[in-house]
Amino acid sequence: MKSIVNSIIFLTIFSFNLLSQNLPNYHPPLDIPLVLAANFGELRTNHFHMGVDFKTNGKTGYNMYAIDNGYVKRAVVSPYGYGRVIHIAHPNGVTSVYAHCQSFSKRIDSIIDLKRMELRNNEVDLELEPSEIKVNRGEIIAISGNTGASTAPHLHFELRDTKTDAAINPLLYGFDISDHVQPEIKRLKIYALSKEAYRYNKTREYSVHRSGQTFSCKKEIRLPSDFCSNSGGIGFAFDVIDKLDSANNPCGLFKGEIFVNDKLHFASSIDTVPFESTRYINCYKDFEEFHQNKFNFHKYFRTAENDLPIYDVEKNGVLKVKPGDSLKIKYIAQDVKGNRSTLEFNIIIDQGPMNTKDAVMTSLDAIYPSKPLTLIKPGIRLTFEKGTVYEPLEIDRSIIDHRIGNPSTPVHSPYKLELKRSVENNEYLQIISRGRIRKIMFEERGPITSCEIKYFGDYKILKDSVPPRVVAQYSSSIVRRGTIRWSIHDSESGIESYWLTVGDDWVPLEYENKTSMVTAKNLEYLGEQEVTFEVRDHCGNVKAWRKIMDFR
């Protein structure tokens, strides 16, 4: 099955390469100089950055333009993620994506709002027919903003394969940003690995020094003999960032190659990433270094389960070594424009006994990426399917009534928690993972209550009987300029939904989660109307705000 998937991925990449030979002359998505705040493939939490971020001078309100003729394939209005986002399919098989919009153009907004009103839903994810909203190259399609999970005003822009929806690197396919700056290599890390490329608890880390365009580290690196094992070997990771001409902010790396004794050993290039595979970033990067120390270690080995299509060689990157070996290593980091940085060093393995363990873990209560596992304790059942973890992880069965796994370990696919007891409708599960509080709603209730969880950590069941807090952002009963605003908060289970009626009419709302602000705009009413605004949390508690208001 995996070979079939790899063949499909190869054909997809091949088609992109054919496309790149005859790139269209795209219209710029903004009418200001295109300066990057982030590039494609940058390392993020649980995903690669799937597009490029264009700076908008720290402001919202710039016109955004269709890069080519096409039609609106998809439009999303959400207070989370990409916020307001529009997808435009083009005749050449590429879809362009424009995220964090403040608003769509008036023509597009009017059509989307009609659909929101038909659905009576403030948050929508709409798939549109080719005939519904056609756009022309250079047409204003939206206004730049800061909606959704954006932390500052900018345009998050993507190119995708229209058929597969896989993200492709815009800097390879029609968008050229000035870049004469070579990648910066900062650190080297060496791991002892099993044959599956799982990590033993043995590492060595070395600083890399820069002098002009040259990078160097300890020229001769000696490793203890127990880095060797009968079936495993060693692997490398490099902390690397890239920068561009007009922006000093660190960006992600495009390509890396490792040569052993002048022969290519392992390589990866981040030119396309399917959305269904992007979570494998958690085993592409050194997860612990990224989240604990903010280091960008790119690992040049991959576990058997990692299906990312970014690797340029068939082998898994585990370098087989034995005591007494002496190896010449060369690492090359390269950006999209071909700027390169090189680091060379020698590895010497000391004489002595090898690691006698053939597996990273042998406990019966260990989760393995390739196997399912069920753990049962009175009143509790945990079910881990294949693919729950990236590397073997031991679970302490004795404490699964309050802690599951290691909070600092990432989860790939959700696992199932079942409790042999009834849980009330106003109860929810809270899990603390890597210092963050995650709130999870139960999917099934009854004699056995269950939920799916994407994090390891300490958990407990909490009650929420308190309705959300709603505060109107004005003191007058007169509506001016057709706009009303409220701030909404729920510190327990969180906001689930919100809705507004003016008289007998349901009215669409804009919710900005970052500011906890809900706005009703363009209220074209006359005279006095009863305004009812209601907010519901995830446990069903409702807060209603009502007032007779004078629309002038």
- Residue 65 forms beta bridges with which residues? 140
Q: According to CATH, where is 2.70.70.10 located in the chain?
A: 19-168
pLDDT at site 16: 44
Per-residue tokens: 126: 């709409």
pLDDT at site 248: 84
Q: According to CATH, where is 2.60.40.10 located in the chain?
A: 469-551
Q: Environment class of residue 314 by beta-carbon count within 10 Å: exposed (0-12), middle (13-18) or buried (19+)?
A: exposed
Q: Rounded to an integer, what distance in angstroms lies between the CA atom of residue 178 and that of residue 337?
A: 8
What pLDDT digit, counting tens, does each position of 292-346 carry?
999 999 999 999 899 999 999 889 999 999 999 999 999 999 999 999 999 999 9
pLDDT of residue 460 exceeding 90, the answer is yes
Q: Rounded to an integer, what distance in angstroms lies between the CA atom of residue 499 and that of residue 301?
A: 50
pLDDT at site 23: 62
Q: Rounded to an integer, what distance in angstroms lies between the CA atom of residue 101 and that of residue 103?
A: 5
Q: Rounded to an integer, what distance in angstroms lies between the CA atom of residue 344 and that of residue 348?
A: 14
Contacts of residue 499, Cβ cutoff 8 Å, sequence gap at least 6:
120, 122, 506, 509, 533, 534
- The residue among 81, 85, 75, 162 whose CA lies nearest residue 125 is 75
Average pLDDT, the chain: 93
Superfamily per CATH, domain 469-551: Immunoglobulins (2.60.40.10)
Question: 366-463 in CATH: which number?
Answer: 2.60.220.30
Top pLDDT among 245 and 415 is at 415
Name the CATH architecture for the domain at 19-168: Distorted Sandwich (2.70)
pLDDT at site 480: 78
pLDDT at site 22: 58
pLDDT band at residue 479, thresholds of 50, 70 and 90? confident
Share above pLDDT 70 across residues of the chain, in percent, rounded to a whole number? 96
Kind and range of the H or E element at 2?
helix 2-20
DSSP for 25-44 reads -PPPSBSS---EEE-TT-B-
Section 84-88 average pLDDT: 98
Q: Rounded to an integer, what distance in angstroms lies between the CA atom of residue 535 and that of residue 544?
A: 7
